[in-house]
Amino acid sequence: MVKFHSSVIFVKNIYKSKKFYINLLNQEIEHDFNTNIIFKSGLSIWQINPTHIISEKLDIESHSNKLELYFETTDIVNSLYMLEDAQVHFLHKINEEPWGQLNIRFFDPDNHLIEIGETLETFVNRMKKDGMTEAKIVAKTGISEETISELLKT
């Protein structure tokens, strides 16, 4: 039986990337095999030897950004300050999506796209605090009335 284990991103410098994911994105190491790090979250980073079959068969230097790593926060403003202090390269700073969620997109040391977005509970409660009715929150977010009511109780 095949079962999903983790997502792996290829990095140029394992030490630089390890520091980035631990210090900025609070990843905790489950296994450290020197050039292959597995984080408890299910994300892995791997510095591939140039003679490995993957390096020989794929263009791992490409920066196509056809995937995004997604993280969540309850404090988007402090996340922005932390990223600015770390001098990351931003795709954009705080942005509001059409459904109301605030997010930030930036790149890791190997140009992988990363997003930090507000948790569902955070942005629903922010909308309520800003004066939106539950009906307007439902209309804007597309989230069911039942889920909105539950999120606003917490």
Query: What would the mean pLDDT of 127-151 be, rounded to a whole number?
Result: 95
The pTM score is: 0.84
Percent of the chain scoring above 70 in pLDDT: 94
Judge whether 114 and 103 are in contact, CB under 8 Å.
no
Residue pLDDT, tens place only, 101-114: 999 999 999 889 89
CB atoms within 10 A of CB 12: 13
State the pairing for strand pair 43-46/7-10. parallel
Q: CA 18 to CA 91: how far, in whole Å?
A: 21
**Residues near 116 by Cβ (< 8 Å), separated by ≥ 6?**
71, 72, 73, 76, 79, 83, 103, 104
Spell out the domains of the chain, with CATH numbers in brackets.
7-118 (3.10.180.10)
Q: Which residue has the tokens 């209309």?
A: 139
Query: What would the mean pLDDT of 20-25 be, rounded to a whole number?
Result: 97
Residue pLDDT, tens place only, 24-74: 999 999 999 999 999 999 999 999 888 878 777 776 666 565 678 999 999
Q: CA 97 to CA 119: how far, in whole Å?
A: 13
